Amino acid sequence: MKFSKGELEYAAELVYSQMLPTPQYAWPLLGEKTGCEVWVKHENHTPTGAFKVRGGITYIDWVKREFPDISGIVTATRGNHGQSQARAATRAGLSANIYAPKGNSKEKNVAMAAFGARLVEFGNDFDEARLEAARQGELNNWHAVPAFHREIVRGVATYAFELFSAAPYLDAVYVPVGCGSGICGTILARDALGLKTQIIGVVSENAQTVKLSVEKGELVETGSAKTFADGMAVRVPVKAAYDIYRHGAARIISVSETEIADAMRLYYTSIHQVSEGAGAAALAGLLQEQQQMHGKAVGVILSGGNIDTEDFWTILGGSYPKV
């Protein structure tokens, strides 16, 4: 998978028909903490509070052109992808049938419903919900939206296109990784612009399918993915994404639940931004590697801010939610 600069510019125009570009700022307090010039890409400032909204816009636009007769879509999610697809689908006149695992974030569920989703809780994790969504799609003749697709990635890549256009000299960018649209979009935007920026993927140490797959050189499923950073809680790697990040990422690192919680608190105390677990993982990765990044210009993707209020209180209290 590759994108030209023109393809990303076209995707950006489509995205901007429904939202404004998000800001990227170099924050001095984060710089003091890490010893780097730290640019934060604020994907917590989108219409759904997360980067996924971009891919929803481009994907549903593609679906309406390619499958004009469908009446609805179905997909699985932990919340941000579901909000994105529900928002875009209902705006396009389609029904949005969203499957989330049992015990999913209450506030993400409410948000999905507010964007027009018919929400069903099924299974014990994302991958069980994903299989049920695919089954229901076949039974009901709904278009099944995957977690990873060229048109989703093209939309998501527009955040990296914005970041690199504002700060093309970045030495490295840290990106949280779940199914992989974020890191792949960042890699492909870098390549389209001809930059040499290192891309470092960050996973939870409790959901290491991506890291293990890259290290082994083949897809590795894990038995569980129990992390409060639900945007990274994936057990089964996506082959199409793996084919991109295994070559395009400098490395994949893992961070602990404690490191993620520490990064969330740092975001709040230093720049007064609310981040969800996955949203703070990139900063947690930079904090882990701050010695080797000392003196460099580094970007971190604050991929989303959708965390339940009760869980955020737990974070601010010095702990983290147990799953």
CA-to-CA distance for 72 and 57, rounded, in angstroms? Answer: 15
Q: What is the pLDDT of residue 127?
A: 86
Divide the 323 residues of the chain into consecutive groups of 10 and give the mean pLDDT of each group: 97 98 98 97 98 97 94 93 96 96 93 95 91 93 94 98 98 97 98 98 97 97 93 95 98 98 98 98 98 98 97 96 89
- What CA–CA distance (Å, rounded) separates 168 from 172? 10
pLDDT of residue 323: 86
**Residue 278: predicted pLDDT:** 97
Give residue 168's pLDDT: 97
Task: Name the burial class of residue 136, with classes exposed (0-12), middle (13-18) and buried (19+) by CB atoms within 10 angstroms of its CB.
Answer: middle
The pLDDT, as a whole number, for residue 246 is 97
Identify the pLDDT of residue 126.
87
Nearest to 300 by CA among 190, 195, 170: 170
The answer to whether the predicted template modeling score (pTM) of the entire model surpasses 0.75 is: yes
Rounded CA-CA distance 46/305 in Å is 10
Burial-class residue 95 by CB neighbours within 10 Å (0-12, 13-18, 19+). middle
Domains belonging to the chain, first-starting first, are 5-50+150-316 (3.40.50.1100), 52-144 (3.40.50.1100)
- The DSSP code for 50 is B
∠164-167-168 over CA atoms, to 5°?
60
Determine the pLDDT at residue 97.
Answer: 96
pLDDT at residue 260, as a whole number? 98
Note the pLDDT of residue 139. Answer: 92
